[in-house]
Amino acid sequence: MPAAKKTTSARRTRTPRRSGSKSSRHAALKASKVTTYNTAVRYLMEKTDLERARSVKYDKDTFKLDRMAKLLDALGNPQASVRVAHVAGTVGKGSTVAMVASILKHADYTVGTFTSPHLTDIRERIAINGEMIDKSSFVALVAAVGKAAEKVAPDATYFELLTAIGLQYFAEQAVDIAVVETGLGGRLDSTNLTNPDITLMTLIDFDHMHLLGKDIASIAKEKAGIIKAGVPVVSVPQPPEAEEILRAKAEEVGTTIQFIGNEIEFSSRFCVSDDLGAHTRICLLTGRSQYMHLPVPLPGAHQAINCALSLAAVDGISANTDTIDESVVYEGLANTQIEGRMEPVWQKPAILADGAHNPAALECLMRTVGAHIPNDSMICVFGCCQDKDIDGLLDKVALGGDKIIFTKASNNPRAAEPEDLAKRFADRHNRVCQVEPTLAKALETAAQAASRDDLICVTGSFYMVGEAKRHLAELSTQRTTATANA
């Protein structure tokens, strides 16, 4: 698999290497100069991006909700007119958002989604009924929100500006509901200034430990920060210490909390059928609705509980209206789409991309591939961020990877060095692995090593997935052009 040539347009819109860096060729751009899509992207990329920062202090000086509050107030508080389902947790947020949104869309709701990170296009983060915000609206909102920020919150971050842009867009488009995913933690997250109808908590596990805490209890306290008075909470089953904290927080602020499998009756079973192949079906009884033997649309046993959470969320969102017909729920689930989660991105050789970036998610990926995707062997192209639980990730990738190629995404300033990953992997597992300096080279090496029935899996971070998709898209374009000119 030859490396794809770099294109000028890809370089112009790609995220700078350093968080909050200014272009060496340009002075800092003012919002008044944002008139095109490229200038809108550049404006945002020049802001402090805590997702990409190598070192961040997680406190009220860095994550300022008062700064976000000033910005929203200057915009007329768009969040006040937007119904919100607020989603936090460590594992499964993206899948839950996708399933909730798909069901509600098929029930004739106009559904906004705010998610992170994006893979190839920044506009992926802000969508309505599955369609990214259009470029003209994006440009106009970057300019408007940027102008407001320059007056009242000049140090507003990349994520804060995007949150404000998303909420303003949803308010202007009068969505029926917005499904909003937290960025980091919850308590100090800029999305925590919304006024949700319902709060959803996916599995709490180890991630961002340098910021949120070294143990589940500390992480759970940060996630629990989105729980608000009078806003019902639904959670998947949690580790005991996390459940205790979530229940205590709900009692403290004065709201109800229900756990799937406890207050909400739940069961699941693995099935194989001619039309769906290997899949999971679930039953869920909420007290208001009964969902019986619904097929989970996303592969993997772990998605059953995310699907149950999504159904409970839909039940809560529609509580003041007629119950959504089960056939609509079935259709909505069946049409769920999500990028970067077990996504086939190439054929011959077969390449799968998944942004699993914590041990729990990576273990689910390894087990799901083994259960759902026939292959003779799996070649894992792996790279991760240096601030992750690297040893935990290496232990999980060893579960399914018959051959491991360590590399890094070129646009990830927090990327762990492949040589360091390989050394730690060899020390822990006494297995031979390989190192390539770039993802493009790693994919080429993997393709050369893969036989007809082998699977190549790109994983470890969404940076890896995004760069792999861009590279393969460029490669596909080059091949199409070469064929047309032959």
Cis-peptide into 117, omega within 30 deg: yes
Classify the phi-psi angles of 364: left when phi > 0, otherwise alpha if psi is within -120 to 50, otherwise beta: alpha
Q: Express each pLDDT in 49-83 by its tens digit.
A: 876 655 555 555 566 799 999 999 999 999 999 99
Q: How many CA atoms lie within 13 A of 166 on its CB side?
A: 32
Cα 75 to Cα 159, 179, 195, 427, distances in angstroms: 16, 20, 16, 54
More confident residue, 336 or 22: 336
Residue 212: pLDDT over 90: no
What is the mean predicted confidence (pLDDT) over 326-335? 94
Q: How far is CA 387 from the centre of its chain?
A: 17
In the 8-state DSSP scheme, what is residue 382?
E
User: Given a cut of 80, is residue 485 above it in pLDDT?
Assistant: yes
Could you state, in order of their start, the residue ranges of all structural domains in the chain?
A: 78-132+162-334, 343-485
Average the pLDDT over 80-100 and give the result.
Answer: 96
Per-residue pLDDT averaged across 108-133, rounded?
97
Find the DSSP H helices in 262-358.
303-317, 326-334
Helix (H) / strand (E) containing 313: helix 303-317
> Quick check: 257 pLDDT over 70?
yes
Find, among 252, 243, 100, 242, the residue nearest to 181 by Cα: 100
Predicted confidence at residue 62, as pLDDT, reads 61
Lowest mean per-residue pLDDT among 39-43, 190-194, 357-361, 437-441: 357-361
- Residue 6 is predicted with a pLDDT of 46
Q: What is the mean pLDDT of residues 273-293?
A: 90
What is the residue whose two structure tokens read 């990953």? 421
Give helix then strand counts, H and E, for the chain: 16, 17
Contact 193, 72 (CB under 8 A): yes
Evaluate whether 103 touches 111 at the Cβ level (below 8 Å): no
Residue 30 has a CB neighbour count (10 Å cut-off) of 12
253: part of which helix (H) or strand (E)?
A: helix 240-253
Does residue 10 surpass a pLDDT of 50? no
Handedness of CA 72, 76, 81, 82 (dihedral sign): negative
Quote the tokens at residue 26. Answer: 């340009």
Q: Measured between alpha carbons, how far is 259 from 38 in angstroms, rounded to an integer?
A: 45
Count the Cβ atoms, other than its own, within 10 Å of residue 23: 12
Average pLDDT, the chain: 90
198's tokens: 């319902």
So what's the pLDDT on residue 184? 84
Quickly state the pLDDT bin for 22 (edges 50, 70, 90): very low
| pLDDT for 19 beyond 50 | no
Task: Say if residues 246 and 201 touch (Cβ distance below 8 Å).
Answer: yes
In the Cβ-directed half-sphere of 260, how many Cα atoms lie within 13 Å? Answer: 26
Superfamily the domain 78-132+162-334 falls into: Mur-like, catalytic domain (3.40.1190.10)
Q: What is the pLDDT of residues 364-402, one digit of tens each?
A: 999 999 888 889 999 999 999 998 899 999 999 999 999
Contact assessment for residue 63 and residue 192, using Cβ atoms and an 8 Å cutoff: no
Q: Which two tokens stand for residue 380?
A: 């894992």
**CB within 8 Å of 466: residues ≥ 6 apart:** 117, 118, 119, 120, 340, 409, 411
Question: How much is the pLDDT for 419?
Answer: 97
Q: What is the pLDDT of residues 411-426, one digit of tens each?
A: 888 899 999 999 999 9
| Percent of the chain at pLDDT exceeding 90 | 76
Look at residue 363 in the predicted model and tell me its pLDDT.
93
Give the tokens for residue 389.
Answer: 């639980």
342/350 Cα distance (integer angstroms): 12
Return phi, psi of residue 214, to 5°: -90, -5
**Residue 69, CB-side half-sphere exposure with 13 Å CA sphere:** 8
Taking 60 as the threshold, does the pLDDT of residue 20 lie above it? no
For residue 339, name the pLDDT band (cuts at 50, 70, 90). Answer: very high
Q: Report the percentage of the chain scoring pLDDT > 70.
A: 91
On the question of a cis peptide bond just before residue 418, with omega within 30 degrees of 0, the verdict is no
**Residue 21 pLDDT:** 45
**H/E run at residue 357:** none
CATH assignment of 343-485, among 3.90.190.20, 3.40.50.620, 3.30.420.40, 3.40.50.970 = 3.90.190.20
**Residue-wise pLDDT tens digits, 123-170:** 999 999 999 999 999 999 999 999 999 999 999 999 999 999 999 999
pLDDT of 3 > 80? The answer is: no
Q: What's the pLDDT at 1? A: 61
